[in-house]
Amino acid sequence: MKIKIGKILKENIALKKEIERLYLIRDISYKIVSNLNLSDLLKIIMETVKERLRVEACSLLLLDSKKEELYFEIALGEKGDVIKRYTIKVGEGIAGKIAQTRTPIIENNVEKSDIFNPKFDYLTSFKTKSILGVPMLYKDELIGVIEAINKKDDKPFDYDDLDLLQIISNEAAIAVKNALLYNNLKSLFFDTIESLVNAIDAKDPYTHGHSKRVSEFSVLIGKELNLDSDYLEKIRLAGLLHDIGKIGVEDTILRKKDKLSEDELIEIKKHPTIGKNILAPIDLLEDIVKGIEEHHERYDGKGYPKGLKGEEISLLGRIISVADTLDALTSDRPYRKGISLDLALERIKEESGRQFDPSVVEALLSLYRKGLLKCSGF
Amino acid sequence: MKIKIGKILKENIALKKEIERLYLIRDISYKIVSNLNLSDLLKIIMETVKERLRVEACSLLLLDSKKEELYFEIALGEKGDVIKRYTIKVGEGIAGKIAQTRTPIIENNVEKSDIFNPKFDYLTSFKTKSILGVPMLYKDELIGVIEAINKKDDKPFDYDDLDLLQIISNEAAIAVKNALLYNNLKSLFFDTIESLVNAIDAKDPYTHGHSKRVSEFSVLIGKELNLDSDYLEKIRLAGLLHDIGKIGVEDTILRKKDKLSEDELIEIKKHPTIGKNILAPIDLLEDIVKGIEEHHERYDGKGYPKGLKGEEISLLGRIISVADTLDALTSDRPYRKGISLDLALERIKEESGRQFDPSVVEALLSLYRKGLLKCSGF
C-alpha cells in the first residue's frame, strides 16, 4: 500500500511539474508570437531568456544562408551593442558549431573549451564563463542561434535549462520567421518607392535625391515632436511621395532654367493635386495623401491648392512643408547656388507663424541645436 | 489514509486532463501561428474547428470596425462559398450579438432562438440546427467571430466544446491579426506601385492602363504554366514594373505620333536597361529586375538590349514579352487602331519559336481556348 501511495504521489509531483512547464510555454508563446515588429520581438525574447534562465547576458544570432554566416541581431548585457556589427562563419566557435550541427551545446567551463572564440570577450571586455546555446529551428529551416551566457550565482547550466531554452527558441523561431517576412516586405516596399521616386527626381537634375532628403528631414522633425513609430512611418512615406505629382508635369517645365511664365507656374502648382489624385484610390494611404496634397499650404492660409490655414492643414503637410523648404534652400538650383544651413534656418525662422507652423519650426531648430541635422547630407 | 489516496488519484486524473488540454493548445498554436498567408491560415483554422469539435460546418467572420459589420471571410461546409459575399451588422443575429457583447453563445435549438437569422440558411439551403459561437479577441481588440455549426450525431454543444473553441479562437486571433497586417502591407505595396505605374503610363495617352494589363496577362500565363503562388507574385510585380524605365525617356519621344527617327529609336530602346538600373540596388527584386531588363529580348536571339537567346532569357522576361505584345497589338496606337484578339493571337502564334518562347505562346493559346483571356478588358 505504501509503495502505491509513493508512486501516486511521485506521479502527482511529475504531473504538476509538467503542467507548470506547459503553462510557461503558453505564456512565452503568447508573449512572443503576438509581435511582428522585429526589434520589439527580439527584445522580448532576450528579456525572457535572461529572466527565466537567470543569466548575465544572452545573444541572438540570425543565419544569413547565402553567406553561410551568423550575424548578431541582438545581444543583451552591458556591452551588447559593441558586437552587433560582427559575424561568425557557420562551423566557427560555439554558435557556429550549433548552427552547423543543429544541436544544443552546454559549456560550463568556457576556458577549457576548444571551440570557444574569445574574440567577442576581447571586444566587449566581458568575461564569458559558461554558455548554453540552442539552434532556432522553424520546421526544417535554421533561423539562427540563441545563447544564454553565465548562469547567475556561478551555477552550471543543466538539462532543465537546456529544455527551457529550447522551448523559448522554438517559439522564437516561428515569431522571428514571421517578423522577418514582415520586415522584408516593408523594406521592399520602401526601397521600391524610394527607387521609383529617385528616378522621377532624376528627370530634373536639380532635384536629384530631393524626395529622399525631405523624407529624412521630416522623420527627424517627427521624432523631435515625439510622434509614435507608426506615424513616423507615415511621415517617411509621405516625404518620399510628396512630389510624385510631378510625373504629371511636362519635362520641359520641370527642367526649365529661366524664370517660369505665368502659365507654366499654374502648371507646376498642380503637382500637389496631381499627387493626391494618383494615390487617392488607396484607402490605407488616406493620411499620406493629405500630406502630399497640403505640402504647399501655408500656416497663414496664403498657400495652395486650397488655401488652408493653421491646424486645418494636416500635421504631415505642415512637417513636409518645412522639410521641403529646408532642402530647397540648401540645394543648388538652376538660378542660384544653395545657401548654408545656418542661413536657411534663419529664413525658415522668419517665416514661423507665416509660412510655417511655429511648433514644427521649433522642432527643426531644436534638432539643429542638438547637432542632429548633420546626418542628412550637410 | 484511503481518503488521501482517493483524493490524490482524483487530482491526478484532473491533472492529466489538464495536460492533455495544454498539449492540444500547443498543437493548435503551432499549427495556426506559423502562417502569415491569410487564406491558408483560415483554412487551417476552419479545419481544426471541424475536426476537433466534430461539427458539420463552421464559419469565420471578420470585423470591419469602420462599418461596424462582420463579413464572412471563410465558411466551410458544402455551400460555404455562397455566403462569402454577405455581411452582418454588429448586434444582428447570433454572430452580431457575439461581436457586440464579446461573449460566447451556445444555441442548441436554433429554431427556438429569437436572434437567429435564417437568411443564410435560405441562401445556402443549409439547415442550421445548433450553433456555438465565440468572439476572436486579440488583446482588447475584437477581430471577429468563429461559429461551429451542427454538432455531429445530433449532440448538443456543451461547456467543454465552448472551452475548446475559445482556445482555438484565442490562437486564431493572434494569427489572423498578424496575417491581416501582412496582407494589408502587401496590398498597400501592390496598390501603390500600380498607382505610380498608372501615372507614368498616363504620360502617354496611348499606353493608358498598359502596365496593369500586361501584369494581368502575365499572371494568367503563369497560372496556366502551373507556377507557384510566390512566382505568380513576382510575375505580377514584374509585369507592373516592366516599362518603368520610360521614366528616363523624354516625354516628347514617348508621345510622338509620327514615326520615330533612328536616334529616337535608340533612346526608347534604352528603357529596359534604365528600368533595370532603377531597381537593381534592391536585392529582393533580383528576379524581377531580370524580367524588366529582358522583356524585349527575342527567343531567336535577335532582341535587345543583350541579344539573349532561348532559355538564356529569364522565364519572367519570356512571359512578359508575350503579354506585352498581346496588349500592344490589341490597343489603339497613334499610327493604327488595335487589332482583334483573334488576329493578335494569330500573329503571336506565327512568332512562336522566333520572337517568343513556344511554351509561353502555347500557354496563352490554351488560356484563349478555355475562355480565360476575356477577364482582362476584351
Give the Cα separation of A243 and A323 in Å (integer): 13
Site of grid cell 512637417: A319
Q: What is the pLDDT of residues B184-221, one digit of tens each?
A: 999 999 999 999 998 888 877 677 889 999 999 999 99
Measure in Å the smallest separation between the Cα of B212 and chain A Cα atoms.
15
Residue length, chain B? 378
Per CB-CB distance under 8 Å, the chain B contacts of A279 are 192, 195
What's the CATH code, domain A2-181? 3.30.450.40
As a whole number, mean pLDDT of residues A61-73 equals 89
- Distances in whole angstroms, Cα of residue B354 to Cα of each of A79, B270, B320, B366: 63, 22, 15, 19
Residue of A nearest to B245 (CA): A199
Q: Is a pLDDT exceeding 50 seen at residue B378?
A: no
Give the Cα separation of A23 and A146 in Å (integer): 22
Q: How far is CA B177 from the centre of its chain?
A: 16
In this complex, the residue of B16, B186, B250 whose CB is nearest that of residue A15 is B16
Non-local CB neighbours of B249 within 8 Å, separated by 6+ positions = B267, B268, B270, B271, B274
- A310-320 burial, b at 16+ Cβ within 10 Å, e below that, comes to eeebbbbbbbb
A13 CB burial (10 A radius; 0-12, 13-18, 19+): exposed
Per CB-CB distance under 8 Å, the chain B contacts of A9 are 8
In a 13 Å sphere around the CA of B86, the CA atoms on its Cβ side amount to 17
Measure in Å the smallest separation between the Cα of A4 and chain B Cα atoms.
9
Dihedral of the alpha carbons of A337, A340, A345, A346, in degrees to the nearest 10: -90
Measure in Å the smallest separation between the Cα of A341 and chain B Cα atoms.
30
Supply the pLDDT for residue B258. Answer: 82
Measure in Å the smallest separation between the Cα of A282 and chain B Cα atoms.
7
Best mutation site among B139, B188, B273, B283 for testing chain A: the one with the most A CBs within 10 Å? B188
Measure in Å the smallest separation between the Cα of B254 and chain A Cα atoms.
12
Supply the pLDDT for residue B377. Answer: 43
* Residues B93 and B70 sit within 8 Å (Cβ to Cβ): no
Residue of B nearest to A37 (CA): B178
The chain-wide mean pLDDT, for chain B, equals: 89
Contact criterion met (CB < 8 Å) for A12 and B16: no
The set of cell numbers assigned to B35 is 502562417
The set of cell numbers assigned to B308 is 539573349
Give the Cα separation of A248 and B200 in Å (integer): 8
Best mutation site among B66, B177, B178 for testing chain A: the one with the most A CBs within 10 Å? B178
pLDDT band at A169 (very low <50, low <70, confident <90, very high): very high
In this complex, the residue of A22, A30, A196 whose CB is nearest that of residue B278 is A196
Best mutation site among A11, A15, A37 for testing chain B: the one with the most B CBs within 10 Å? A15
Alpha helices (H) along A294-357: 315-330, 341-350
Query: In chain A, where are the structural domains located?
Result: 2-181, 202-376
Highest mean pLDDT: which of A47-51, A313-317, B82-86?
A313-317
Per CB-CB distance under 8 Å, the chain A contacts of B196 are 193, 196, 244, 247, 278
Q: What is the pLDDT of residues B282-339, one digit of tens each?
A: 989 999 999 999 999 999 999 999 999 999 999 999 999 999 999 999 988 767 788 9
Q: What is the pLDDT of residues A4-55, one digit of tens each?
A: 788 888 899 999 999 988 888 888 888 888 788 888 888 889 889 999 999 9
Structure ipTM over 0.95, yes or no: no
The chain-wide mean pLDDT, for chain A, equals: 89
Contact criterion met (CB < 8 Å) for A4 and B5: yes
Say how many Å lie between the first and final Cα of chain B, rounded. Answer: 86
Contact criterion met (CB < 8 Å) for A200 and B12: no
Q: What is the pLDDT of residues B118-161, one digit of tens each?
A: 877 777 778 889 999 999 999 889 999 999 999 998 889 999 99
Q: Is a pLDDT exceeding 70 seen at residue A75?
A: no
Measure in Å the smallest separation between the Cα of B363 and chain A Cα atoms.
30
**Residues facing residue B118 across a β-bridge:** none
Residue of A nearest to B184 (CA): A284
Site of grid cell 529616337: B264
Residue of A nearest to B170 (CA): A30
Per CB-CB distance under 8 Å, the chain B contacts of A248 are 199, 202-203
Contact criterion met (CB < 8 Å) for A278 and B198: yes
What's the CATH code, domain B2-179? 3.30.450.40
Supply the pLDDT for residue A63. Answer: 94
Q: What is the pLDDT of residues A180-238, one digit of tens each?
A: 999 999 999 999 999 999 888 887 767 788 999 999 999 999 999 999 999 999 999 99
The size of the A-B interface in CB pairs under 8 A is 152
Supply the pLDDT for residue A282. Answer: 93
- Could you tell me which CATH class the domain B202-376 is placed in? mainly alpha
Contact criterion met (CB < 8 Å) for A284 and B22: no
- Distances in whole angstroms, Cα of residue A362 to Cα of each of A135, A171, A356, A358, B226: 49, 45, 10, 6, 58
Measure in Å the smallest separation between the Cα of A251 and chain B Cα atoms.
6
Contact criterion met (CB < 8 Å) for B284 and A195: no
